[in-house]
Amino acid sequence: MNKLYYTILIAGTFIGCAPKITEDVLEVPAQELAPIEVEPDGSQLYAANCVRCHGFKDPGSFTANEWKEIVPRMAVKAKIDAYTEGKILEYVLANAKQ
């Protein structure tokens, strides 16, 4: 009997202390809840578009001149848009073998 009493007492305390949800919180216009869009950076685009087929290749595996030939050729094969191609190229060039 005591266990039941204490269980109800503890549960009642937690339920009583829980924050209340009011209707004004639920009526927030959808435009205020829209997610902030963040553009992926070159490394994320490289991972999403290149690594899935080739596995991870360290951008330092190739020189800048080699990447300038590889990326445009592969962008056509992978049907990557010009913006994404440019971001990937920026990333691999910044990390290319010297």
- In tens, the pLDDT along 22-54 reads 555 556 565 666 666 778 899 999 999 988 888
pLDDT of residue 91: 95
pLDDT at residue 90 is higher than 80: yes
Is residue 24 helix, strand or coil?
Answer: helix
Higher pLDDT, 77 or 38: 77
- Global confidence as pTM: 0.61
Of 1-10, 32-41, 54-63, 78-87, minimum mean pLDDT range? 1-10
pLDDT of residue 4: 65
Backbone angles phi, psi at 27, to 5 degrees: -105, 35
